[in-house]
A and B are shown apart, each in its own frame.
Chain A
Amino acid sequence: MDKAVEPSSSSQWLLRMLSLPRRWRFGVAPVIAGLLLLAIVLATILAPLYVTHDPLAMQATKRLQPPSAEHILGTDPFGRDMFSRVFYGGRVSLLIGVGAALVSVTLGLFIGLIAGFFRTADAIIMRIMDGLMAIPAILLAIALVALSGASIGSVIIAITIPEIPRVVRLVRSVVLSAREEPYVEAAISLGSSMPKILLQHLMPNTMAPLIVQGTYICASAILIEAILSFLGAGVSTEIPTWGNIMAEGRSYFQLNPGLIFWPGLLLSLCILSINLIGDTARDLLDPRLKKREA
């Protein structure tokens, strides 16, 4: 069966306008996802320019107000403006997502290159990775935060560690197949230094799958941050994140569902867009993966 993605007729004009090469023609969904993500990222980064209330300013007389002209999304249990909290909260959530993706991809790449190339290190590293993968990600993250405190940095580390084994396995499998290629054997026989072989010949092979994996990690990191905050193991509520805004709203959910709905909506749209972009990137970069995992 033909696996090529046919663009729907509604998106034809857009693709013709962009005159993309045929293999770049995908449906309109990833384009919308990209624009949506861009909008969310800009809205959160530029929040200080247009938000009218301080996200931390408490007003005891204005607790849990319904949406009004002054407070577009109402106020939270401490009388803080929900609209500004939701957009300020996105900054930290996105920072944690991108941070966790970068750190886990970098560390995973490094460990994976070593595991893929050196047989002796491989056995040890992969057993450790098996052990890490046997621990449910959320519980491992919880334990790490419980031990190291809940700053933004330690939350990023706590989310990163459970993700590393997946990156390592990916990089290792790419290296294992690439190291048998003639050009790598040639480099070895010419006496190239080990770092040079690893970085110059093997690493480029891992880039495409790593970019895809990175987008998925970014999405899942934003989700896990929300869950950690919800469980009380997240960043202090002094720094609003989508997760801890929802966590604070849970006791008042029946009075004002917006406390969970608005940050939840923004977070879900954001993750949805990142996942769709990741799926598209995977299909474009590796047609074989698409066939296997669709």
Chain B
Amino acid sequence: MFGYIIRRILAIIPVLLIVAAIVFLMLRLSPGDPAAILAGDAATPAQIERIRTELGLNEPLHVQFLTWIRQLLQGDLGTSLISRTDVWTMIERRLDPTINIAILTIIISVLLAVPMGVLAAWKHRTWVDYLVMSFSVLGFSIPVFVIGYIFIGIFSLQLRWLPVQGYTAPSEDLWGFFQRAILPSLTLATIYIALIARMTRASMLEVLNEDYVRTARAKGVPERDVLFRHALRNAAVPIMTIIGIGFALLIGGVVVTESVFNIPGIGRLTVDAILARDYPVIQAMILLTAGIYVFVNLLIDLSYSLIDPRIRY
């Protein structure tokens, strides 16, 4: 087991290197002059020339790449074109709201989606099943921001239950945090719920026909325990996998949702960077989110043996 964990951790290094190479080549191979892109629209020729020497853009490609990787490993993600501050400091300042809302979203999604999927499989081909599946197909079909505006329209503008936009840190005012975070989290959760519920249903459908499910029922195990202890546990691996894969959707959704609800997180930072064509920030966000995505999926892979003791490494 220990050896397996080490091997898996080592295996993510090439993936991250390739992500870095893609980000690196994207800038170098883009139609414009990389130094001019990194210097921003308002730069003077002298500034562009300075950046060219700083980045060693006159050196051969592989030398540039190694220099850049060395900077990354030292925690230097570059400098913002607009605020002229260190990109990592900018991200660090904005990390809290995003993490809090992401955690709330994941909790909401799993708590709603898994029972929905189990119920749909249990009531296969009844109105319950069709309802869950319709929700699931709808969830994939409506853009995140439209869902956000629909929620704002209903709960904030019509019913006036919740504030329209903004963010309060949970450390300042926990109730205020929930009031402001619930709509963005539900917005983000919609597509995630659709994805997880669909996979839970499919995975449960396969398991519910197994002999041990029939045995459990025959010996009089309460139906709830049959579903959630016997069947769900055996259906869990694909569900965990899809939660990990869906994490990419979540990251993409964060960028949009924070913009709709005016939350000062890293999603907003990204949008501001796009509007200002602040490429170093966009580049850092790609590296960061890819790193998080790979890491989350590694954790999920490693957790399989916790859920399913038959899986041994």
Contacts and interface: CB of A to CB of B under 8 A. Distances in A.
Nearest to B134: A29
B252 A233 contact: no
Contacts of B140: 219, 271, 275
A146 to B, nearest CB: 6
A135 B290 contact: yes
Interface residues of B, number: 58
Interface stretch (A11-19, A123-131, A206-214): A123-131
Contact of A131 (B22, B206, B251, B289): B22
Contacts of B23: 143
A31 interface: no
A134 B146 contact: no
Contacts of B255: 138-139, 142, 231
A227 interface: yes
B55 interface: no
Contact of A264 (B142, B198, B206, B252): B142
Given A231-B256, A232-B275, A260 B146 contact: yes
Contacts of B260: 250
Interface string B114-125: 000000000010
Given A139-B252, A143-B283, A147-B37, A232 B143 contact: no
Contacts of B283: 143
A230 B271 CA distance: 10
A28 interface: no
Contact of A147 (B144, B149, B206, B279): B279
B289 A294 contact: no
A76 to B, nearest CB: 16
Contact of A223 (B22, B32, B143, B277): B143
Interface string B7-37: 0000000111111011100110011100001
A292 interface: yes
Contact of A227 (B144, B149, B251): B144
A30 to B, nearest CB: 11
A183 interface: no
Contacts of B14: 127
A137 interface: yes
Contacts of A143: 23, 26, 279, 282-283, 286
A251 to B, nearest CB: 12
Interface string B265-288: 000001100110101001101100
B294 A134 contact: yes
A227 B18 contact: no
Contact of B256 (A230, A272, A294): A230
A109 interface: no
B145 interface: yes
Contacts of B294: 134
B74 interface: no
Contacts of A276: 137
Contacts of B149: 250, 253, 257, 260, 264
A93 to B, nearest CB: 11
B162 interface: no
B151 interface: no
A267 interface: yes
Contacts of A264: 142-143, 146, 149
A246 B26 CA distance: 29
A127 B18 contact: yes
B293 interface: yes
A1 interface: yes
Closest 9 CB pairs of A and B: A131-B18, A138-B252, A294-B202, A147-B30, A264-B146, A272-B141, A271-B141, A136-B251, A134-B290
23 contacts: A1-B205, A1-B209, A128-B18, A131-B15, A131-B19, A138-B255, A139-B282, A143-B282, A144-B26, A146-B274, A147-B27, A147-B32, A219-B140, A227-B252, A246-B143, A246-B145, A246-B146, A253-B149, A253-B153, A254-B157, A294-B201, A294-B202, A294-B205
Interface of B: 14-19, 21-23, 26-27, 30-32, 37, 124, 137-138, 140-146, 149, 152-153, 157, 198-199, 201-202, 205-206, 209, 248-249, 251-252, 255-256, 259-260, 270-271, 274-275, 277, 279, 282-283, 285-286, 289-290, 293-294
